[in-house]
Amino acid sequence: MSTNTPSYPPSVPTERELTDFGVQRVQHENIFSDTWHAQHYVEQRVFDIRHARPPEKPLVLFREKHVSWLMRHLQYLPRGSESFDVLQGWSCFWIVHSLNLLGATIPVPTASMVVKHLATFKDPVVGGYGGGPGQSSHLASSFSVIMTLCGLGTEEALMSIDSVSLLRFILQMKQADGSFRVSFGGETDVRAMYCAICIASIVGLLKGVEAEKITRGCASYVKSLQGFDGGLGGEPGAESHGGNSFCGLATLVILDELDAVDTGALLDWAVMRQMAYEGGFQGRTNKLVDSCYSFWVGSLFPLLGLKARAPAGMSKLFDADALQRYVLECAQLENGGFRDKPGTSRDLMHSCYALSGLSIAQHFGEAKHDAKNEVKKVDPVFNIAEDKINYVKEFFSQT
Amino acid sequence: MFTGQYTYCGTNHPTVRGPYSGMICSGKWSSYSGMICSGAAVNNIVPWYSMHGVRRARPSAEALEQDKERSIFQAGLIRRALVIRNDPEQSVFDEEFEKKYSVVQRAIESNPDEYTLWAFRREILIAKSESSSLTDDEWKSELQLTSLALQRHPKAYPAWQHRLWLLSDRKHMSKVSQGLRDASLKEEQRLSAYMLSKDGRNFHGWAHRMRVRSILESKSPGEEENMWRQELEFVEGKINDDFANYSAWHHRSVLLPRIHSEGPNIFLSDELQFVRQAFYTEPDVQSAWFYHRWLLAGAPARGNKAVVVDGLLEEELAACEELLSIEKNARYALQTKVHILTKLGRQSETTEALDLLEKIDPLRRGYYRHLRKT
């Protein structure tokens, strides 16, 4: 592989760039490491895409293409279980949630098929769900299955949730210092805590007598995650990271303990994650843009807004139009699905979080959009379509 | 300081540029961690952007067919392994067990995300340990299994976790000879150093270093400061390799307050010099500026009181102004200037800088306006 830097459009910003975007791009001459090489390359690809599209053309959401791509994956699910993939519950969630945001209706027989398929992931001894049939219980898998069932929102789906066995599993994952493991002998980090608290909250366990056993020590654990730059890491002492910041902050929101962290510092950190040229978010300083952080970092703004006296002001602290533009222009693919960034392939995970991020930009930010490219409003704490979460909360408050 | 010895396997592999920076395969270099030549793995990692300008050949029908067969074969291995685990009649003491159990190793080598199988391996090791049939060799080969898995999948959570368990579990692994376990622990940082040389931002590698260090600390109380200083040398090496390695800066911010538990006075002025050198060399690299901001706040850390040094802020402001006189549009220098002026109570002087920032960093316009108001 040649070690020469690619000779490409001139490094001095052209007139058109300055008037369109007026933003500094990475200086060509400063490339001295892989980090810069990669960043420069991404900006070139984004530049290409932007200048291939006439500026008057509106940003389109290829709704039908996405829906049919996702529906094909949904139909394929039972056969897909031959692969023993650990992410089968996640695949279901990514598909169902994306379809909900796109406003598509999942036919009742299909929904029923998914519910029965997910039921095979149950671990009857321990409680909770594994990543697939025959796999041992895992908090993240359990979370993905519960959220899929809530996203389906049918009575059959919600009735299949056994809160007693979930409680049993969650309490077994709880550690002495207040944190949670993801599975027996598995790692301890804030993702596990978010999954546990989220499940507990949705299924009504945080109102019961066992609530204290679940929530004990959680706020102080999240507090210990805040780094020198204001972001939250995965475990005490770890580097600030977009996904973990979301998990930590959302946990505090559910527990109503937002004051446990320095929210001002976290806000400053989040603001700096938006990429000056690309418009999307990065997950950590000096890393590349990635469409999934559209949700992980984008949702930090409405969540922090829950504390601020002027929550509407939060929406102005990131550029929602730029985020929307990155998602629809660079992450979206014309034949359906979304990808991480130009140069990568589409996948279900990025489709889900790019759409969630788009929803944040449109409904919490002030991204200009019309009925044709609008997606449904997402609940930023649980990452589920708002019209679904209300029904679910009612259902579990009655049982 | 990492002083690992490399032996080459003798084959020439192309160096690969990218986030996994160009490395020639390093062969077996430690009889304890037993790292096996990963040349094949290095060959297969082609950074996604390296395809720029090169017409990517469509994979042939044969290649697709082979891929499909391979994944069916892998699925078969995993299914057999799960069946063995879920069989209640199975016992580790059965004659046929070892033969059947070998399928678990093959399944896990290429699928280290299968956390259920790692849990199964723990169950088997515990059963053997409790019946006093766990040998040193078995423990060593389990360790080698994790390093093989990690070389292929550097970010597999369950593989890192399993390795940590092997090294740290006192109750069940106590049957393994003390000498072997201690020697392995001493060498353990070489694994993370190796992984971080391939990808300096791999947070699993950094977390592993932290955890191994705390195990070593608990074994030799009184040696903590030495270990932290060694680690600081490693971190500094990583920063000097690449100022944009933010993970290294982050770990510096964790280590310094621990080493200097009396307070940041001791390291503050040296650190300011170090970071100033970094951002003078590369003013567009964000990392150093964020670290700088932490130093300006007095390097607060749990257990350490923030330090307020007279004249420090004015000095740093002067340094920013000097940089801005050469590079008018240095975005981070402008942000830092605004930040310092605000701290000094001189908000009225920030207008010009904020105007310029709104022009060159328009995505954060809303944030700069918010700063004007506060």
Please give the full DSSP string across A194-239, using - where no structure is assigned.
HHHHHHHHHHTGGGSTTHHHHHTTHHHHHHTTB-TTS-B-SSTTPP
Query: For residue A234, which amino acid is it?
Result: G
Q: Consecutive sets of 10 residues in chain B, 374 residues long: mean pLDDT of each?
A: 29 33 32 31 37 49 80 82 81 76 86 92 90 88 91 92 93 87 90 90 94 90 89 93 92 91 84 90 88 90 70 90 90 94 91 94 92 83
Contact present, A161 and A205 (Cβ < 8 Å):
no
**Closest CA in chain A for residue B257:** A228
Nearest to B290 among A1, A84, A229 (CB): A229
C-alpha to C-alpha distance for B233 and B255, rounded to whole angstroms: 11
Per the listing, tokens 């293409």 go with A65
C-alpha to C-alpha distance for B195 and B204, rounded to whole angstroms: 9
Residues near B74 by Cβ (< 8 Å), separated by ≥ 6? B107, B110, B111
Nearest to A228 among B18, B158, B294 (CB): B294
Contact present, A280 and A295 (Cβ < 8 Å):
no
Written in H, E and C, the secondary structure of B182-217 is: HHHHHHHHHHHHHHHHHCCCCHHHHHHHHHHHHHHH
pLDDT score of B29: 27
C-alpha to C-alpha distance for B118 and B176, rounded to whole angstroms: 19
pLDDT score of B36: 31
Q: Taken in order B97, B99, B100, B103, is the CA torsion positive or negative? A: positive
* Cβ neighbour number for residue B245 with a 10 Å cutoff: 22
* Mean pLDDT across chain A: 88
C-alpha to C-alpha distance for A318 and B79, rounded to whole angstroms: 47
Nearest to B244 among A182, A234, A286 (CB): A286
CB-CB under 8 Å, A24 with B329: yes
CB-CB under 8 Å, B201 with A237: no
**Closest CA in chain B for residue A21:** B362
Q: What is the pLDDT of residues A74-127, one digit of tens each?
A: 988 765 545 578 888 999 999 999 999 999 999 999 999 999 999 999 988 889
* Residue A6 touches partner B, C-beta closer than 8 Å: yes
Contact present, B202 and B195 (Cβ < 8 Å):
yes
A and B: number of Cβ contacts within 8 A = 177
Nearest to A27 among B52, B116, B284 (CB): B284
pTM, whole model, 2 decimals?
Answer: 0.88
Q: What is the pLDDT of residues A251-294, one digit of tens each?
A: 999 999 999 999 999 999 999 999 999 999 999 999 999 999 99
Long-range CB contact pairs, B64-70, < 8 A, 24+: none
Collapsing DSSP to helix, strand or coil, B140 comes out as helix
pLDDT score of B69: 82
Per the listing, tokens 């989040």 go with A270
Which has the minimum average pLDDT: A246-250, A300-304, A358-362, B278-282?
A: B278-282
* Cβ neighbour number for residue A242 with a 10 Å cutoff: 27
CB-facing half-sphere around the CA of B26: CA atoms within 13 A: 16
Question: If we measure between CA atoms, which residue out of B251, B205, B203, B246 comes closest to residue B230?
Answer: B251
Long-range CB contact pairs, B325-334, < 8 A, 24+: B327/B283, B328/B356, B329/A24, B329/B356, B329/B360, B330/B283, B330/B284, B331/A24, B331/A276, B331/B284, B331/B357, B331/B360, B331/B361, B332/B279, B332/B283, B332/B284, B332/B286, B332/B289, B333/B279, B333/B283, B333/B289
By annotation, the residues of A acting in catalysis are 241, 284, 287, 290, 292-293, 340, 347, 350
Written in H, E and C, the secondary structure of B213-244 is: HHHHHHHCCCCHHHHHHHHHHHHHHHHHHCCC
Bigger pLDDT: B99 or A212?
A212
Q: Residues of B with CB below 8 A from A34's CB?
A: 17-19, 21, 242
The DSSP annotation for A37-51 comes to: HHHHHHHHHHHHHHH
pLDDT score of A96: 97
Collapsing DSSP to helix, strand or coil, A13 comes out as coil
Per the listing, tokens 């399944």 go with B107
Q: What is the pLDDT of residues B249-297, one digit of tens each?
A: 999 999 999 888 888 888 888 899 999 988 888 888 889 999 999 999 8
Q: What is the ipTM of this complex?
A: 0.88
pLDDT score of B45: 36
pLDDT score of B300: 83
A308: confidence class by pLDDT, cuts 50, 70, 90: low
CB-CB under 8 Å, B294 with A319: no
Question: If we measure between CA atoms, which residue out of A66, A38, A47 comes closest to residue A279?
Answer: A47
pLDDT score of B21: 31
**Domain B245-374: homologous superfamily in CATH:** Protein prenylyltransferase (1.25.40.120)
pLDDT score of B244: 87
Shortest Cα distance, chain A CAs vs residue B34, angstroms = 24
pLDDT score of A11: 40
A140: confidence class by pLDDT, cuts 50, 70, 90: very high
Contact present, A295 and A353 (Cβ < 8 Å):
yes
- Dihedral of the alpha carbons of A202, A205, A208, A212, in degrees to the nearest 10: -120
Contact present, A337 and A39 (Cβ < 8 Å):
no
